[in-house]
Structure 1
Amino acid sequence: MPNISDRVKHFIDEHQLFTHPQTLVVGVSGGADSVCLLHLLDSLSEHYWLRLHVAHLNHRLRGPEAEADARYVQILARQLKLPCTISAADVRSYQAEHSLSPELAARQVRYAFLADVARSVGAERVAVGHTADDQVETVAIHWLRGSGLAGLRGMRSAAPIFRLAEADVPDLEGYGAESGVTAQGPLLLVVRPLLALWRRETEAYCRHFDLKPRSDSSNDDLSLRRNRVRHQLIPALEGYNPEFKENVWRASLTYAAEYDYLEAQVDALWSRLATVGDGVVRLDGEVWHETPLALQPYCLRRAVLTIVGHVEGLERVHIDAALGANGPARARMSLPHGLVMMREPDGFVVGLRDKLEQRLRALDRSFAPQLASPAPLLIEPPARVMLPFGWQARFTWASPPANPAAVGSFEAYLDVSAFSPPFILRGRLPGERIAPLGLHGQSKTLQDIMVDAKIATHLRANWPLLVVTDPELGEQPLWVVGLTVSELARVTMQSERVLHARLSNS
């Protein structure tokens, strides 16, 4: 079929999929798409100086049907006089071991197999038979997940995966999610020469050449998300617009161009923005604040890609939460793959949790007041006390504040008319309680107050409290610094003796 062959050749040339003589692994399942791909590439192999090697993996999910697929591919390769590697993998065991969906488990094992074959035959690239229909389905799935441009652009005509020795690996290629470079090995590209062809065209091609491709019964299994999108969602949307698939396919090209432009902008500023260490990327705050909002999510994606080599599992919801798109940005947030993003006074740090653990503790303490130890310090106002990590506490006599709403987080006005100095600055005691303002005399444990305020566990023991001694009640906390004031110290305009306590970090 000259028209299909010419269109595929044009697509290959436009995207420069084959620029020099090389060995090319062709993934062939036995279905119409991959059979069409193999037959077309065989007819074009002399033109592009390609040495084709056929690869087929039996996922052991469909019993005799899958075994028949493998025999079909082996016979087809023999007819075309092409070398062929056929293997099998226990995808169900891999799925159970790694708690994955059936689709994701099969995909991970399949790409690991293709990468192994490529390495064994010295190939730089692997060709797979994804079509325009697959592209539309991928974009629809990403749209349902709330993806940004990175997902809505769909699959790339060429995208990197890794040369892998084992199947026990992360989902590196992610069926459209691109991967990056890590120390795991030299890059291997997966190429998709049929992305401009529709499935109906690959089926017509196979009929024209009497190739008799296999039919995969699992493609009708509606328990799989992609099949529901293919057989239910897309036909329903075509009921609203018969050109739905063509429109989505064209839109994916636009999204891809926009994504590439944004990635180029990240390239241009990355050397000024990022400092890369062992499992850690630091983003400079000054450069970050100069970075357009539209570009910041792509900078965060680049940081994750730099550390773990891929962005599989990093969703738009993670990026929006980390950057505060739907509310206040958090000082520290967990990301997929054991990563943590945290704010520093002069920027951000993204890194593997174990690499950042000591840094996290030091950073927490620089932002949170801490005593050198829980032991008591006696306070005779006016007084100043130096605390670790640049913090200091000041205690002075004052009048009731004219505007209580303007009182800062780490300061308090306390009515101490009923108490006499010295006051005590110390850490909490086991089971200690306070009656916070606004609870009408009801008390809470300091443990509950700190948990509710999301104070990190390792900060609680040395969190400062201002305590007084009552002749009848004993020691009573008046102020849990930065968190709450006791009802015992409520200030009114009639208060006769007011202590102004303030902590600051120089």
Structure 2
Amino acid sequence: MEQAVLKFIIKHQLMAENANVLVGVSGGPDSMALLHFLHSIRRKWNLNLTAVSIDHQLRGEQSREDLEYVQAVCKKWGIPFIGATVDVQAYIKEHQVGTELAARELRYQVFHEQMDRLNADYLALGHHGDDQVETMLMRLTRTASSSMFNGMPFKRIFAKGMIIRPFLCITKKDIEVYCKANQIVPRIDPTNFDTIYTRNFFRKNLLPLIKEKNNNIHITIQHLSETLKEDEEFLQTEARQMVKEVVEFNTITRSASFQIESFRKHAHALQRRSFHLILDYLYKELPKDLSYVHEEYFFALLDYNKGSTRIDFPSNLKLEKSYDRLTFYFADINPHDPSYDETLALPGKVELPDGSKVYADLTDKIETSDPYQYTCNIDQVTRPLHIRTRRAGDRMSWKGLKGSKKLKDIFIDSKIPIKERDSWPILVDHNDEVLWVIGLKKGQPKSQTVNGKWIQVHYKKGNV
């Protein structure tokens, strides 16, 4: 067993010589074997070991005795010992979580505190190959996302150092043999046999059946976990690049949007991961009722081809499709009236809420097809001019049109997203005659009076 573990440590560069190592020790076979193993290589590797044991107060005197047992062994082996007590029941009541999760979160809080206090390089934990198989089986029953189907990492960043799991390459049986050979008499937690806990159910009912078909399933699963991790890291890198190129984020309103055509040009695997990256960005904490069903809703929304529609996600997040643009936004953030009405002096300038600017000046008549410039004769309009947002009943007319047309229909024809219509800049004269829906349609003033003076209005898009 020792050689297998050393080979695993070296292969994955789990630990360096001269390191400060904190060892999580419960008193059970796995953690006691790990503590003994690290103690056996301490001089060769010049390791500074410290054991930390935690009483979760779930089994009364038994759990206290576990901690005292670890303390006694550490004294015998000459290993510094840290004992801690946590109140799992109080944590359950306060945070409304299950026993397993509460115990884990409190345990890792203690680990984090001691890692920081000791300036430790590593936190070594005794998870083994059978634990890895159980983890993968449990995730198989809980997740529909391949990106979430992975095992415990053999190494990951934690506190100011790393968590390492040197025993992922061996089985529970290997550990039991090791303990017997080295005269280690560990404590046995009776709750490990209670199948009310999910992991114990898989351990007792499924793992033995799988091992009948493949006794080295822990090696197979560990290899699978490592390759899945490598593949997922690559896909996540590609997805982050895709989000950077395609998605526009607004940190003020906590919203995100993208052009659907640009989004759909990428592989479906990247689209799916980009969707989750957007949610990670928008939600401060992912809602518990967010599931793979919402992913299906998202892709159904992308495929919807009948104009504009909207769907609701947990925590008041809205996904709105308006033609070829999809926007994520929270309905309860920054609810404000987007309307405005600004007087445009001649000559003069108006700066709009989004940072865009509108300039007006007198000029010789210039015929232009630039969609961001508008020219009319000074006697055709009633001054002063105004830049404002749309109002109920707004209509406009232009050369060649019989009668007039609603601004709403102009927005629909131009496929302007619903959210953008209420803040779209419109040029009107003082009698509220619509002259220009900026960037979309240029109107023709009702008056045909012309003299030598002309007004030129120029729009420059902002960056907000």
- Which bracket does the TM-score occupy, shorter chain normalised? 0.5 to 0.7
Instruction: Please name the residue that 2:334 is paired with.
Output: 358
The alignment of Structure 1 onto Structure 2 pairs a total of residues equal to 356
TM-score for both structures, normalised by structure 1: 0.60
Classify 1:358/1:127 alpha carbon distance in 2 versus 1 (closer, same or farther; 3 Å).
same
Residue 382 of structure 1 deviates from its aligned partner by 7.0
Instruction: Please name the residue that 1:113 is paired with.
Output: 110
Give me the whole-angstrom Cα distance separating, in 2, the residues matched to 1:122 and 1:214. Answer: 29
Classify 1:107/1:341 alpha carbon distance in 2 versus 1 (closer, same or farther; 3 Å).
farther
Please tell me whether the aligned partners of residues 255 and 327 of structure 2 are also in contact (alpha carbons under 8 angstroms).
yes
Residue 343 of structure 1 deviates from its aligned partner by 4.5
Instruction: Please name the residue that 2:74 is paired with.
Output: 77
Match of 1:142 among 102, 126, 139: 139
Give me the whole-angstrom Cα distance separating, in 2, the residues matched to 1:263 and 1:26. Answer: 32
Instruction: Please name the residue that 2:233 is paired with.
Output: 260
Instruction: Please name the residue that 1:288 is paired with.
Output: 263
Residue 253 of structure 1 deviates from its aligned partner by 3.4
What one-letter code is carried by the residue in structure 2 that aligns with 1:298? R
User: What are the equivalent positions in structure 2 for 1:28-107 lying under 5 Å apart?
Assistant: 28-107=25-104
SS in 2 for 1:358: coil
SS in 1 for 2:206: helix
Please tell me whether the aligned partners of residues 147 and 315 of structure 1 are also in contact (alpha carbons under 8 angstroms).
no
Give me the whole-angstrom Cα distance separating, in 1, the residues matched to 2:249 and 2:46. Answer: 40
Instruction: Please name the residue that 2:417 is paired with.
Output: none
Residue 269 of structure 1 deviates from its aligned partner by 3.9
Residues 171-227 of structure 1, C-alpha deviations (whole Å, 9 max, x = no match): xxxxxxxxxxxxxxxx54321111111111111111111111111111111111111
Classify 1:92/1:271 alpha carbon distance in 2 versus 1 (closer, same or farther; 3 Å).
same
Please tell me whether the aligned partners of residues 158 and 190 of structure 1 are also in contact (alpha carbons under 8 angstroms).
yes
Instruction: Please name the residue that 1:298 is paired with.
Output: 273
Instruction: Please name the residue that 1:190 is paired with.
Output: 163
Give me the whole-angstrom Cα distance separating, in 2, the residues matched to 1:191 and 1:273. Answer: 37
Unaligned runs of 5+ in 2: 339-388, 396-401, 414-464
Match of 2:185 among 212, 233, 236: 212
Please tell me whether the aligned partners of residues 56 and 85 of structure 2 are also in contact (alpha carbons under 8 angstroms).
yes
Instruction: Please name the residue that 1:342 is paired with.
Output: 319
SS in 1 for 2:136: helix
Residue 274 of structure 1 deviates from its aligned partner by 5.1
Classify 1:245/1:18 alpha carbon distance in 2 versus 1 (closer, same or farther; 3 Å).
closer
Classify 1:321/1:256 alpha carbon distance in 2 versus 1 (closer, same or farther; 3 Å).
same
Match of 2:205 among 217, 232, 237: 232
Please tell me whether the aligned partners of residues 115 and 188 of structure 1 are also in contact (alpha carbons under 8 angstroms).
no
Give me the whole-angstrom Cα distance separating, in 2, the residues matched to 1:49 and 1:264. Answer: 37
Residue 131 of structure 1 deviates from its aligned partner by 0.6
Please tell me whether the aligned partners of residues 301 and 311 of structure 1 are also in contact (alpha carbons under 8 angstroms).
no
Residues 250-271 of structure 1, C-alpha deviations (whole Å, 9 max, x = no match): 4333323322332343355454
Please tell me whether the aligned partners of residues 394 and 407 of structure 2 are also in contact (alpha carbons under 8 angstroms).
no
SS in 1 for 2:15: coil
The reply on whether 1:159 has 2:132 as its aligned counterpart is no
Please tell me whether the aligned partners of residues 169 and 219 of structure 2 are also in contact (alpha carbons under 8 angstroms).
no
Give me the whole-angstrom Cα distance separating, in 2, the residues matched to 1:35 and 1:119. Answer: 23
What one-letter code is carried by the residue in structure 2 that aligns with 1:210? Q
What one-letter code is carried by the residue in structure 1 that aligns with 2:266? T
Give me the whole-angstrom Cα distance separating, in 1, the residues matched to 2:200 and 2:170. Answer: 19
Instruction: Please name the residue that 1:9 is paired with.
Output: 6
User: What are the equivalent positions in structure 2 for 1:290-329 lying under 5 Å apart?
Assistant: 290-305=265-280, 317=292, 320-321=295-296, 323-324=298-299
Please tell me whether the aligned partners of residues 240 and 274 of structure 2 are also in contact (alpha carbons under 8 angstroms).
no
Residue 36 of structure 1 deviates from its aligned partner by 1.2
Classify 1:385/1:284 alpha carbon distance in 2 versus 1 (closer, same or farther; 3 Å).
closer
Residue 385 of structure 1 deviates from its aligned partner by 3.5
SS in 2 for 1:324: helix
Give me the whole-angstrom Cα distance separating, in 1, the residues matched to 2:269 and 2:201. Answer: 33
Please tell me whether the aligned partners of residues 294 and 313 of structure 2 are also in contact (alpha carbons under 8 angstroms).
no
Instruction: Please name the residue that 1:202 is paired with.
Output: 175
Instruction: Please name the residue that 1:122 is paired with.
Output: 119
Please tell me whether the aligned partners of residues 2 and 37 of structure 2 are also in contact (alpha carbons under 8 angstroms).
yes
Classify 1:387/1:270 alpha carbon distance in 2 versus 1 (closer, same or farther; 3 Å).
closer
Instruction: Please name the residue that 2:345 is paired with.
Output: none
Residues 322-348 of structure 1, C-alpha deviations (whole Å, 9 max, x = no match): 53379968844435xx58463565765
The reply on whether 1:25 has 2:34 as its aligned counterpart is no
What one-letter code is carried by the residue in structure 2 that aligns with 1:342? L
* RMSD across aligned positions (CA): 4.2
Give me the whole-angstrom Cα distance separating, in 1, the residues matched to 2:41 and 2:286. Answer: 34
What one-letter code is carried by the residue in structure 2 that aligns with 1:63? G
SS in 1 for 2:103: helix
SS in 2 for 1:228: helix
Give me the whole-angstrom Cα distance separating, in 1, the residues matched to 2:191 and 2:178. Answer: 23
Classify 1:241/1:19 alpha carbon distance in 2 versus 1 (closer, same or farther; 3 Å).
closer
What one-letter code is carried by the residue in structure 1 that aligns with 2:103? A
What one-letter code is carried by the residue in structure 2 that aligns with 1:231? K
**Percent of aligned pairs sharing the same letter:** 23
SS in 1 for 2:89: helix
What one-letter code is carried by the residue in structure 2 that aligns with 1:290? K
User: What are the equivalent positions in structure 2 for 1:165-180 lying under 5 Å apart?
Assistant: none
Higher radius of gyration, 1 or 2? 2
User: What are the equivalent positions in structure 2 for 1:453-492 lying under 5 Å apart?
Assistant: none
Give me the whole-angstrom Cα distance separating, in 2, the residues matched to 1:238 and 1:15. Answer: 26
TM-score for both structures, normalised by structure 2: 0.65
Please tell me whether the aligned partners of residues 282 and 347 of structure 1 are also in contact (alpha carbons under 8 angstroms).
no
Give me the whole-angstrom Cα distance separating, in 2, the residues matched to 1:312 and 1:290. Answer: 29
Give me the whole-angstrom Cα distance separating, in 1, the residues matched to 2:197 and 2:266. Answer: 40
Unaligned runs of 5+ in 1: 164-186, 363-369, 394-506
